[in-house]
Amino acid sequence: MENEYTEIIPSFKKTIFNASNVDLVKDYGEIAFDMFLKDGLLKDIPLINTALGMKNTVLAIRDRHFIKKTMIFTQQMHDGTISKEKIEKHKRILESNQSKMEREMETVIIYLDKHIHYIKNSILGNFYCAYIDDEQDFDWEDFELFADILDRVSIYDLPELKELCEQEVFTENDKYNSVSLSRLNGLGLVQYANGMVMGYADDIDKEGAYGRRFLARISIIGKVFCEIGLKNIK
């Protein structure tokens, strides 16, 4: 088991930092991906080649899903959010620091493996891009914090979070999902007290918001989650 794990980390790094792997999967498309994966036609991708070698060319359902999650994560990394130069720079940093590379890749692998819904792979990709972008104030501790929140948040609460982020507050006259807000409040993404008035929107820089009583408000963590994690996520 230890030998398998040792093999996966380097091939995982090679896969996510190589934009050509994204182009290969894009050419096949999501539907064809499963078919070509089954037939071994994507074995030029390092992670797939490693997995096939360890499984004697037969991939279990979990292996197939993990590879698909990895490719979605990789595609998000190379969607143009950050430059190729910054991605290449971080790749060189990892190649010069084995312990850092193992720590980062292991963490990303663990979170990807835990995700059930593919949309979380894309969101995690956005957080990782923010981390490797040295122009953003988003370090490794931030990445782990938001990766943990992402792991626990329900994808069915994301529309409510996104709407609240855009409005900044929900007032008494707004329609909202109280169940979603309660769950999001538990993760620190919003401020919500089970329908109780939390204050007045006097300090909200939004036309017409002055004096309205609000029942829910986006938190600082929630705003960062939306602005970074949900960027370009449909």
16 and 124, same domain (yes or no): yes
SS3 199: strand
186 and 215, same domain (yes or no): yes
14 and 117, same domain (yes or no): yes
> According to the model, what pLDDT value does residue 121 have?
96
Q: How many domains does the chain have?
A: 2
Domain annotation covers residue 113:
yes
10 and 121, same domain (yes or no): yes
Domain annotation covers residue 162:
yes
Return the beta strands (E) in 125-212 as ranges.
169-171, 190-192, 199-200
Domain annotation covers residue 234:
no
Q: What is the DSSP string of 168-230?
A: SEEETTS---HHHHHHHHHTTSEEE-TT---EEGGG--STT-TT-EEEEEE-HHHHHIIIIIT
Domain annotation covers residue 70:
yes
93 and 33, same domain (yes or no): yes
Identify the domain containing residue 131 by its residue range. Answer: 2-152
Output the pTM of the full model.
Answer: 0.82
Domain annotation covers residue 44:
yes
Q: Which residues contact 110 (CB under 8 A, 6 or more apart)?
A: none
User: How is residue 216 annotated by DSSP?
Assistant: E
79 and 42, same domain (yes or no): yes
Tens digit of pLDDT per residue, the chain (234 long)? Answer: 344 556 688 888 888 898 876 665 554 444 445 555 555 545 555 555 555 454 544 456 677 788 889 989 999 999 888 999 999 999 999 999 999 999 999 999 999 999 999 999 999 999 999 999 999 999 999 999 999 999 999 999 999 999 999 999 998 888 999 999 999 999 999 999 887 776 665 555 555 555 567 889 999 999 999 999 999 887
Measured from the Cβ of residue 124, the count of other Cβ atoms closer than 10 Å reads 25
Domain annotation covers residue 182:
yes
51 and 85, same domain (yes or no): yes
Q: Which residues contact 20 (CB under 8 A, 6 or more apart)?
A: none
Which residue, of 152, 175, 200, is where some domain finishes?
Answer: 152
In the structure encoding, which two tokens stand for residue 90, read together?
């971080």
129 and 86, same domain (yes or no): yes
135 and 28, same domain (yes or no): yes
CATH of the domain at 168: 1.10.10
Residues 9 and 112: beta-carbon distance below 8 Å: no
Q: Cα(69)–Cα(36) distance, rounded to whole angstroms?
A: 16
> According to the model, what pLDDT value does residue 9 have?
87
> According to the model, what pLDDT value does residue 6 have?
62
Which residue, of 125, 152, 179, is where some domain finishes?
Answer: 152
Which residue, of 134, 152, 170, is where some domain finishes?
Answer: 152
> According to the model, what pLDDT value does residue 153 have?
98
Q: Cα(30)–Cα(22) distance, rounded to whole angstroms?
A: 12
58 and 167, same domain (yes or no): no
75 and 148, same domain (yes or no): yes
126 and 207, same domain (yes or no): no
